[in-house]
Structures are given as C-alpha cells and as structure tokens.
Amino acid sequence: MKYINSKKKLFLIIILAILLIGAVSFFYYVSDYYHADSIALAALTPNAGYTVNITEDSITFTPTKNQSKTSVIIYQGPRLKQSPIRS
C-alpha cells in the first residue's frame, strides 16, 4: 500500500512541476516583446516627404509627391502589448 501511495505522490509532484514550468515559461514568453526604438518613433512625425495618419488600429504613411496606386502593407506579429504611439 505504501508503494502505491508513494507512486501517486511522485506522479502528482511530476505533473505539478511540469505545470509550474509551463506556466513560468508562458509568462516569460508573453512578457518579452520588442519595443519601438527611437528611429521608429521619429518616423511617426510627418515631414516634407510624407504625411502620417494615425488611427486606433493603423498607421498610414502617405507620400506628398510621386503618389502611386501601389501599396505595401507591413504588420508586426501578435506579440505587441501596447501601441508604440505616445501622445
């Protein structure tokens, strides 16, 4: 009987350890994300070459000269915690 109880305890400890390691790994992964650097933040200011339209879900750069019908869409991965836009 002791052998069965010790096996159950060992199995429970192993399962709890796996769950704990998984939870810690998940929270580390979620908390580690890329921040916008100063060059990217400086690009958000309009200049003579383009205007910037910032909405809640997108940032659009429109050239002031040489406007084209071709567009390029760049979007980041799903690990963004907050918008890099500072008011």
Encode the chain (87 residues) as per-residue pLDDT tens digits. 566 678 888 999 999 999 999 999 999 887 877 777 788 788 888 888 888 888 887 788 888 888 777 877 777 665 555 555 554
**Within-domain flag for 25:** yes
**Within-domain flag for 52:** yes
**What six digits make up the tokens of 12?**
């429970």
In angstroms, rounded to a whole number, what is the distance separating the alpha carbons of residues 10 and 84? 47
Domain count, the chain: 1
Q: What are the two backbone dihedrals, phi and then psi, of residue 29, each rounded to the nearest 5 degrees?
A: -60, -45
**What six digits make up the tokens of 74?**
């760049």
Structure-derived torsion over alpha carbons of residues 79, 82, 86, 87, reported in degrees to the nearest 10: 150
Range of the domain at 56: 2-63
**Within-domain flag for 78:** no
**Within-domain flag for 13:** yes
